[in-house]
Amino acid sequence: MANSSLSAAKTTKNDEFYTQYADIQKEVNAYIEYDKNVFRDKTVLLPCDDPEQSNFTKFFAQNFERYGLKRLISTSYARSSKKSKYGIDTYPSLFEEESPIYDADKSKSHGRIFILDRTDVTGDGRVDYDDLTWEYLDGDGDFRSDEVKRLRDDADVIVTNPPFSMFREFLAWIVEADKKFLVIGNMNAITYKEVFPLIKENKIWLGATGFTNDMVFAVPEGTDIAESDRAKAAKLGYVGNFTRLGNSCWFTNLDHGRRHQPLSLMTMADNLKFSRHKEIRGKEAYDHYDNYDAIEVPYTDAIPSDYTECLGVPISFLDKYCPFQYKIIGATESEGKGFSAGLWNPDSGISQATINGNKVYKRLFIKKLGGGYQRMIETIVKMGIALEEITYYSGIMGVPISFLDKYCPEQFEIIGLDRYVKDNPHYGKRFNLNGKETYARVLICNNK
């Protein structure tokens, strides 16, 4: 019995975290500041939620009119399923028990769905949290069920804090449906084999806040919390059933302003003379890895602005990553086979990066984009073409044919169409990117 309880407590500790209202507000406001219409006329789905306790539901319901939402849908997991999966005993709320549709049996075995649309149910002249309506789901509310999948398919944006232990599966569930999303995960997920290729291809990126700041989460009564984490949460003003997680961050494919802010960096010579980091200052040169064809840059602010070859940086670089300034080449082979894009020397027999025989923690490999590239990408993105739709190599870019709608011949020169370029070894066939055939691409370059 004791071992069973301990196991349940560990599962609870790993998966049951309730996000604070202030953290949601700070993050979502960053998207609103960048694009005030990001949620306008959209259906927002909040799966893996507990609508009566969830701050996600409260936040979006209270801002329903301000953001111009079309519909808000929030689903919860059945109490009996929570009990069997997480060892959590929960009881129906007074709100549920006093509802005319309350069903004692369904309350245990069925999830619930809360819906808010543009109907002023209370008649108070506004649409907000008080206008939410609810009913029991047919199933237990598992996000993998056909019932919740249908809600996913009808939604425009998915926002939630999914179970951390199921992050891989949950993200795949979103990507499968090609939806916009904003979710919380562990920062170590950056190098998951299911996640890193999406980051590399600019299909997902880190959110606007939370990466370098502690996030505090509420947890169910009885959850095993490390005293050090409880104390840190209390220091931040959260006393009781709260824990602090310093390795949490937001993952998204919604654009925000921080992605468009290039890093302000010093040259290599200036870094070696004046860097605030003792590991850099006073050295003759940056260290080169023993087993990777790249130099080691242990801090993001120590990236040399004038270095044009491959650099190895910590995963924390992504918090400051500007895709108009640097291109992500790969990651160390220790994070996934083939991730290093040919930079690794397999004869070394060591997949983790090493310097003078000493292993270095997870590293991403990046390379600076030339000034011409930066200007081209920024210009094309301003035309309304998504960054992930752009491919580039040796001064030439491949862009969707929709580019032609805003094409200015004084600005860009059209080289040709992908499959009809004379140097294409597979003449007549479309290009491949990461092993997948791309849709038709127009090849362009700067008009000098």
Secondary structure of residue 326 in the 3-state scheme: strand
Rounded Cα gap, residues 278 and 280, in angstroms = 5
Rounded Cα gap, residues 374 and 369, in angstroms = 6
- Which of 247, 211, 204 shows the shortest CA–CA distance to 229? 247
Rounded Cα gap, residues 151 and 110, in angstroms = 16
Asked whether the predicted pLDDT for residue 86 surpasses 50, the reply is: yes
Rounded Cα gap, residues 135 and 151, in angstroms = 14
Neighbours of 305 (CB within 10 A): 15
In degrees and rounded to multiples of 5, residue 297 shows phi and psi of -125, 100
What interhelical angle do 55-62 and 21-34 show, nearest 10? 40
Lowest mean pLDDT among 10-24, 243-257, 281-295, 312-326: 10-24
Q: Name the band, by pLDDT with cuts 50, 70 and 90, for residue 2.
A: very low
Rg of the chain over all Cα atoms, to the nearest angstrom: 25
Rounded Cα gap, residues 392 and 293, in angstroms = 22
Contact 234, 270 (CB under 8 A): no
Asked whether the predicted pLDDT for residue 133 surpasses 50, the reply is: yes
Rounded Cα gap, residues 198 and 205, in angstroms = 8
Rounded Cα gap, residues 135 and 123, in angstroms = 21
- Which of 156, 64, 160, 80 shows the shortest CA–CA distance to 112? 80
Provide the pLDDT for residue 430: 63
Rounded Cα gap, residues 299 and 316, in angstroms = 9
Neighbours of 276 (CB within 10 A): 10
**Mean local confidence (pLDDT), 120-130:** 94
Q: Compute CA distances 309 → 5, 54, 127, 213, 303, whole Å.
A: 53, 47, 55, 31, 12
Average pLDDT over the chain reads 84
- Which of 200, 147, 121, 170 shows the shortest CA–CA distance to 387? 200
**Mean local confidence (pLDDT), 328-333:** 95
- Which of 46, 43, 77, 76 shows the shortest CA–CA distance to 59? 46
Provide the pLDDT for residue 10: 37
Residues paired with residue 311 on neighbouring β-strands, in sequence order: 295, 366
Q: Name the band, by pLDDT with cuts 50, 70 and 90, for residue 206.
A: very high
Provide the pLDDT for residue 291: 97
Neighbours of 9 (CB within 10 A): 16
Residue type, 291: N
**In 103-155, beta strands by DSSP E:** 112-116, 133-136
Tokens of 147: 């019932």
Residues paired with residue 19 on neighbouring β-strands, in sequence order: 217
Residue type, 2: A
Residue type, 96: E
pTM for this prediction? 0.79
Provide the pLDDT for residue 7: 33
Contact 27, 140 (CB under 8 A): no
Rounded Cα gap, residues 194 and 186, in angstroms = 14
Q: Name the band, by pLDDT with cuts 50, 70 and 90, for residue 209.
A: confident
Q: Provide the percentage of residues in the chain whose pLDDT is more than 70.
A: 80
